[in-house]
Amino acid sequence: MEIEHNMAEPHNYRTVGYSMIMVAASLVVIALLYLAIGDDVLYSDRVGKQKQFEYNQMLEEMKQKQESAESGKNLSIGLDENMNMDNRP
């Protein structure tokens, strides 16, 4: 009882090997991230809140600079201000 080997091999060992290497590499990356972050499971939440705080602080500083610039050199005359002019020749 002899089996014919005319059919092509259904497995591509090279592709399977590359896939196993990719899976192992991704697991190594996950392990390195875990070691870098440690027990801080809310790391991304903390980073996001810190960046949001810095952004809001920058906006507040810009607002204060604009207000100080407006109050320093106000060339317009408001409706409640009196303009005293003497037209004596």
* 44 and 34 together in one domain: no
Predicted local confidence at residue 28, as pLDDT: 97
- Mean pLDDT, the chain, as a whole number? 79
Closest by CA position to 50, among listed 38, 58, 61: 58
Residue at 4 is within a domain: no
* Radius of gyration of the chain measured on its C-alpha atoms: 36
* 31 and 14 together in one domain: yes
**How does pLDDT run across 62-89, given as a tens digit for each residue?**
998 888 877 655 555 555 555 566 666 5
**How does pLDDT run across 31-66, given as a tens digit for each residue?**
998 888 878 778 888 999 999 999 999 999 999 888
Q: Which domain holds residue 24?
A: 9-38
